[in-house]
Amino acid sequence: MSPSSDPAKQMAKTKVYNSLMVNVKDYVMIIIGLILYAIGFCVFILPHHIVIGGLTGVGSLVLFATNGLIPVSVTIYACNILMLTFGYRILGRTFVLRTIFGATIAALTIGVLEGYFTSHPPIITDVTMSLVLGAILCGMGVGTVFVHNGSSGGTDIVAALVNKVSNVSVGRAMMITDMTIVASGIFLPFDGDFSARLEARVPMIIYGWVGTFIISYMTDNLINTNRQAKQFIIISEKWEEIASQINDNAHRGVTVLDGEGWYTKHNVKLLMVWCRKIESVTIFRIVKSIDANALITQSNVSGVYGNGFDQMRIKLKKKKAESCNS
């Protein structure tokens, strides 16, 4: 038997190839998401001098405070590297590497676009319409990045750090940070007395809060839609082949249950599979390609927690944890 015909080696090669393709797909989608974010921010939000949350908001503050001397892209990249340097041990190597990749692409795309669109009149002159469109694109971009296990850095790092060392949720930490950044726009240089400053800055701060809310809303919806779980129960005479293909190609676990047909009195094997909603089509294709007559049930699952899915975010209080240990 030649080495190339060894089933174990072929299976190992297939697993490596599939893993590589999944990673390549993730990075391609992360790039697309960051491009969407850069377009939404640079084309529709930044030209109207609106400060939104995140490090792009910090970059906007620095840009306006220095009268365009320091670009947004330079600020966000420098801040990302600085925060990652301090948070490396807490956040871990994988998170840091993916964040560096995301932060680099974000800085490059924003750097390419901001110079042109800040030196020309806004494409959409209506501030509200431009803000809503830009925020929707930003939210779609951030959601795409998160769904594919990426990060653009920014307040994601701050939120992750806070969540690691305290019981404050990621969402709450990001909200507090973003709202503070937007409100800081009141301190930007302004020619006039305090009442005139309030009259000019408060509407922009409100616009910034609305834009941040829309981005957060779009991001959450995109993430929740893609992370909805499905449960499959599959009955087929070719259950072994189907289970192997689901393992190798869909990268999902399969639980084999024993059953008995009441009418036929024959023993059958039931395959139970949990997967993300976006992976459902892959499961159907695998089953149909092997056994077109297989019996399949599909149902919605409100939540799946554990390996390969969401992690439980509940933290025990120290006193309770100590009492349990004792």
pLDDT at 17: 63
Give residue 94's pLDDT: 72
pTM, rounded to two decimals: 0.73
Look up residue 312 and give its DSSP letter: P
Share of the chain above pLDDT 70, in %: 81
**Domain boundaries 229-301, corresponding CATH code:** 3.30.70.120
Please give the pLDDT value at position 321.
47
Give Cα separations from 131 to 62, 73, 187, 295 (angstroms): 20, 20, 22, 49
The burial class, CB within 10 Å (0-12 / 13-18 / 19+), for 148 is buried
The model's confidence at residue 273, banded by pLDDT at 50, 70 and 90, is very high
Q: What mean pLDDT comes out for the span 224-249?
A: 88
In this prediction, residue 61 carries a pLDDT of 94
Token look-up 């041990």 returns 89
What mean pLDDT comes out for the span 90-110? 83
Among residues 200, 164, 32, the alpha carbon closest in space to that of 106 is found at 32
pLDDT surpassing 90 at residue 320: no
**Residue extent(s) of CATH 3.30.70.120 domains in the chain:** 229-301
Residue 224 is predicted with a pLDDT of: 75
Q: CA-based angle 188:189:191, to the nearest 5?
A: 135
